[in-house]
Amino acid sequence: MAEKTRIPESAQPDDAVEYLAHAEANIEINVNLKALRRRIDYRLLPFMFCCYLLQFLDKVMLNYAAVMGLKKDLSLTGNQFSNTATWFFIAYLIAEVPNVYFLQKVPAAKWLGVNVFLWGVAATASAGSHNYRDLLVSRIFLGGFEATIGPSLMLLVSQFYTRSEQAPRFTFWYTGLGVAQILGGIISYGFQHVHNTSIDGWRIMFLVVGLVTMLVGVLTFFSIPDTPIKASWLSDSEKVALLHHVGESQTGVWSSKVNMEQIWEAVMDIQLWLLTLTTILTYLIILKISISSGVVTTYSATLISGFGFSGPVSALLNTPSGLISIFFTLVVGYGIRKFSHRWAWLVFCTIPGIIGGGLMSFLPKSNTAGVLMGLYLVNAIVATLPILYQWTMANCAGHTKRAFASALVAGSFSVGNIIGPQTFQARDAPGYQPAKISVLATQAAAAVVAVALFLYYLWENRRRDKKQGHETVVDEKWAGLTDKQNSSFRYVY
């Protein structure tokens, strides 16, 4: 017989409790969940997609501006270009600390909309840079405001979808990254053919993309509801049906109370540190994520131009990277929805990353086609991030703990990016051999940690099964319990 979970006094019931208590007594529920889910998709996913596309586009514009004359126009020397990329991610990492608080106090949709608008302002300000200091300041603000994108979208998806439904939704908005890679190359190519004696093409590019971002920020603020309860385009019966449906995940919807016990639990939770380590390794060398991401976001166009291609051609040759990103992101999204086993799909994505890193590291520069293929294959690794985002949200319950976990994993993404650009030292140009070799090593390590995480979840679920059984107590769904406190909670892998 299952033992009922003890609800601690510190637990803060989810806001859904009060709403359901009132609404269920006054309505009759007869809702087609499939049609409801489709309706929610149409309302939310386009905005999520646009936000994620623009956060990557605004970030990667520096990549393209580098081959459009930015370094020369701003008289950048030595490692100053690398430093601007590094400080972007330092600001990104620091901003995750207040994000934990604000995502607990302010609805994720509103916090996202405000920050999208503000990073659009920062991106626009980059157009006015006249020296290294100006560019550095604008990139620091851009990094600080973009820091909320991952945590906000993670929380939003977990509010409207069950754990099994989340993977394809994460996949959809995350494909914005691949689309941004393609658009970035095309946009850069176009603006390199804009010849204006009063303003450089790369400045116009920053202005246009930044202004578009500001518009999307305003639309996001007013279009995405704070929670399912506040979705004005849903009837009461649809809201009740949705809450009961999402309640199956036992992760809650919304509570504004900051629960310090949940933060402490998150700090002591081994699964979060394994997720963090996997994120770090997926993108440098022991405990630092992302030489691969450094290649993708900051230096890919620079590496391509090193083969002797002109700026416009380098921009266009970078677009196939987006196709690889989109392909692998869609494959893992479908695979997780159909077969689960997130750990296996993560390992699957590291394989082309290892192959790509090998081609980049060991083929001679004269083999242009082979090295380019390696550069493209490395982009498969970006598909691991939506897996890690969704895995984190699926296995962390309690609103404060989820907010903390989302910021922790998103912050760990920036750690490697802080180190990644610094491995591209001026003295290593044009081959950047040490950085490219690091790509190879980190992918293999990420696969090992992913398997360890799978084994941990398997062990923990079996331990809970032996101790308590499988049934779920209805009250536990909305009691604000964490995954550790709720004995009926089972981890997905």
Segment 117-146 shows an average pLDDT of 94
Residues 6+ apart with CB under 8 A from 309: 317
Segment 155-177 shows an average pLDDT of 89
Looking at residue 315, its pLDDT comes to: 63
Q: Does pLDDT of 198 surpass 60?
A: yes
Q: Does pLDDT of 180 surpass 60?
A: yes
User: In which region does residue 340 sit, left (phi positive, over 0), alpha (psi from -120 to 50) or beta (all else)?
Assistant: left
* pLDDT tier at 439, thresholds 50, 70, 90: low
Residue 10 in domain: no
Q: Does pLDDT of 281 surpass 70?
A: yes
Residues 6+ apart with CB under 8 A from 41: 169
Backbone φ, ψ for residue 234 (5° rounding): -110, 140
Distance spanning both ends of the chain, measured CA to CA: 26
Residue 491 in domain: no
Residue 28 in domain: yes
By residue range, what is the domain housing residue 172? 15-478
Mean pLDDT of the chain: 81
pLDDT single digits (tens) 347-357: 888 888 778 77
Residue 493 in domain: no
Rounded Cα distance between 117 and 213, Å, is 6
Instruction: Report the alpha-carbon angle 174-299-375, nearest 5.
Output: 70
Residue 2 in domain: no
341 versus 444: the higher-pLDDT residue is 341
286 versus 477: the higher-pLDDT residue is 477
Residues 6+ apart with CB under 8 A from 420: 85, 283, 284, 288, 289, 290, 291, 292, 293, 294, 295, 298, 435
Q: Does pLDDT of 1 surpass 50?
A: no
Preceding peptide of 107 cis, ω within 30°? no
Rounded Cα distance between 467 and 142, Å, is 49
Q: Which of 47, 44, 180, 204 is nearest to 116 (CA)?
A: 47
Q: What is the CATH number of the domain that holds 202?
A: 1.20.1250.20
Residue 148 in domain: yes
Q: Which amino acid is at 326?
A: I
pLDDT single digits (tens) 18-61: 667 666 666 666 788 889 999 999 999 999 999 999 998 988 88
Q: Does pLDDT of 460 surpass 50?
A: yes
Residue 181 in domain: yes
Which pTM was predicted?
A: 0.83
As for how many domains the chain has, the answer is 1
> By CB neighbour count within 10 A (0-12 exposed, 13-18 middle, 19+ buried), where does 78 fall?
exposed
Q: Which of 246, 196, 203 is nearest to 33 (CA)?
A: 246
Residue 112 in domain: yes
- Token look-up 């600390």 returns 97
Looking at residue 117, its pLDDT comes to: 98
Q: Does pLDDT of 210 surpass 90?
A: yes
**Cβ(306)–Cβ(360) below 8 Å:** no
Looking at residue 289, its pLDDT comes to: 30
